[in-house]
Amino acid sequence: MRVRPAQTPTTMKLTSLFTLATTLTLSSLAENPTTPPVPPNPPSATPPPSVAPESAQPPPPEPDVLKSLHQLPQSRIDVLMVSLPEDKALALLPELRDPKTIEAAQARLLKLVADKQATLVDWPQLTNPSGKRTVTESIVEYRYPVDFAFSSAPPAPPTTPDPAKKSLLVDADAATPTTFETRNTGTTLEVESVVAPDGQSVTAQISAQTVHLLREREFPTKGDRPGEKAHIFQPIFETQKASVVFCLRDGERSLIYVGKPVEPGSPIQLFIVGAKIIPALQPADPRK
């Protein structure tokens, strides 16, 4: 037999309070169920800003070339191109090849041009900033056929040829031009020059050229009628060209080309180059 200890009034009061607190707690949990708290998200790590490699960086902007041209000295280059008979050219060549007498010889050469005893082919001139390249052209396009389509029509009845009638391609009606080419005739001058630091001389690389139509050559071909001939005309061009590198003092002139075509009786061609140095422009005074 189990004997329960006797409860005192204090013990009974504590027991009742504990029972009431437990009941209230269970009742509150039943009415307001709670979910376990969600732990906060850890702070996201912000990646450091990407740094482009040095090679991928854009290049610095280039200075405006036109704005810097006034800081460069310039050179004025001209090429005198003259055609004259062989005897007159041979008489002038010794003086033209001598730097001491070339000025007087050129004056005599221009006097021959004025007297219609020589022909001025051209006299191109360029003003070129130091270290730059410039080009001038005086061109006439010459267009000529290179491929032909021959007639496939049946031959016409034979006729008695007319001896007074010249047989040409148009008369024979044998071929029609189908492809053409174009050749530039005239003069071209290309210059690339550098002025010396002291401004007293210039070193230049130039290419001077003249091209002109010498004549048209006649090539025979067959016509579409028995016993009839046709002719195709093709152009023959003549070229004089000089590509040189030279150094001239300010105001000096020099003979750079002497040429004679292979055609009998052809005149001699002369190219005389001259240089004039133009100092760089002084920068403006910011105080004005």
pTM over cut 0.85:
no
Whether residue 262 lies inside any domain: the answer is: yes
Whether residue 160 lies inside any domain: the answer is: no
Whether residue 159 lies inside any domain: the answer is: no
Whether residue 26 lies inside any domain: the answer is: no
Whether residue 92 lies inside any domain: the answer is: yes
Domain, as residue range, for 219: 70-151+168-193+212-243+253-278
User: How confident is the model over 254-285, as pLDDT tens digits?
Assistant: 999 999 887 777 899 999 999 999 998 866 55
The number of distinct structural domains making up the chain is 1
Whether residue 99 lies inside any domain: the answer is: yes
What would the mean pLDDT of 20-42 be, rounded to a whole number?
Answer: 54
What would the mean pLDDT of 214-222 be, rounded to a whole number?
Answer: 77
What would the mean pLDDT of 210-219 be, rounded to a whole number?
Answer: 85
Whether residue 103 lies inside any domain: the answer is: yes
What share of the chain has pLDDT > 90, as a percent? 44
Whether residue 224 lies inside any domain: the answer is: yes
What share of the chain has pLDDT > 70, as a percent? 61
User: How confident is the model over 121-159, as pLDDT tens digits?
Assistant: 999 999 999 999 999 999 999 888 887 776 655 555 555
38, two tokens: 């969600």
So what's the pLDDT on residue 3? 44
